A and B are shown apart, each in its own frame.
Chain A
Amino acid sequence: MPLIDLANPTRFLALSHRLLPWFAAATAAAFASGIYLAVSAPDDYQQGATVKIMFVHVPAAWLAMGCWTVMTIAALGTLVWRHPLADVAARAAAPLGAAFTAMCLITGMLWGRPMWGTYWVWDGRLTSVLVLFLMYLGVLALWRTVEDPSRAARAAAVLTLVGAINLPIIKFSVDWWATLHQPASVLRLGGPTIHSSLLTPLLVMALAFLLLFVTLHLAAMRNEIMRRRVRTMLMLQAEAAGH
């Protein structure tokens, strides 16, 4: 698939139209097997069945960070190459990223209640995901406030890049702050020490979430291109009516 095909919005529409059903089918298949594996996975000796929450919580957390990465790459495309498709990709990724971040927070809280005895603990991981969520909302607010789409794209791109520089710093400072105020938490959400019987379902679920994101992102990008066409046509019509 030559990249040049993707560069043109019309070609992108045609290509994504052909690809979307395949991605949707793959997503459904991956979720079916992922959920089957998650249900049949053995209980953790320490956490019991609650470890099953990990199979949605951790992939959502990965995607929450992955969406910002996609937006960062798109932001470079917007600012450096001035590519309209990069604008569209960034705009389509922002609400999806916010949704996955919200999913990570909600499932994390529901996991925390049985494990910690409370829905919210100011633990390093949860807190930095909360800040990430606030930053997604900031980007969304900026997209909604600036009227002209290409100007909004460039403003959002600057904010995304500043966020990409700041996110590791925020993560570092929140971790530092969390260890300052409390001993290491009882439960390390999605820590690296996972038994292999739990790792396979986790990876399959992660693949399912990734496919879901790709499918939704492609579809949202198509919507965004169409929205821009409608906008251009309406403006041309208004211009013609003015003559």
Chain B
Amino acid sequence: MNLGPYANFILSAYGAAALIVIAMVAWVAIDHRRQARALAELEARGVTRRAEQRQGGTTSGAAS
């Protein structure tokens, strides 16, 4: 494959695009891990969401 005299520009354009795609994927993956860990931690501590709380009664003690 011959990219001609401007091979640098072509390769760096593709490289920049790849970097941005990788950055987006990494952002989504890291964010997912962080939120999943926070959710698991809260659930382990016995905190529940409003929807479940309503089923279990409205006492605030259920959430502590």
Contact = CB atoms under 8 A, between A and B. Distances in A.
A223 B25 contact: no
B2 interface: yes
Contact of B28 (A219, A237, A240, A243): A219
A71 interface: no
A107 B13 contact: yes
A108 to B, nearest CB: 9
Tell me the dominant secondary structure on chain A's binding face.
helix
Contact of A106 (B1, B13, B39, B64): B13
Given A113-B9, A237-B63, A240-B64, A99 B35 contact: no
A107 B2 contact: no
A153 to B, nearest CB: 18
Interface in A217-233: 219-220, 222-223, 226-227, 229-230, 232-233
B4 A50 contact: yes
Interface residues of A, number: 41
B17 A226 contact: no
Interface string A199-243: 000000000000010001001101100110110111011011101
Interface string A30-60: 0000000001000100001110110011001
Interface of B: 1-7, 9-10, 12-14, 16-17, 20-21, 23-25, 27-29, 31-32, 35-36, 38-39, 42, 45, 47-50, 53, 60-61, 63-64
Interface of A: 39, 43, 48-50, 52-53, 56-57, 60, 95-96, 99-100, 102-103, 106-107, 110-111, 113-114, 212, 216, 219-220, 222-223, 226-227, 229-230, 232-234, 236-237, 239-241, 243
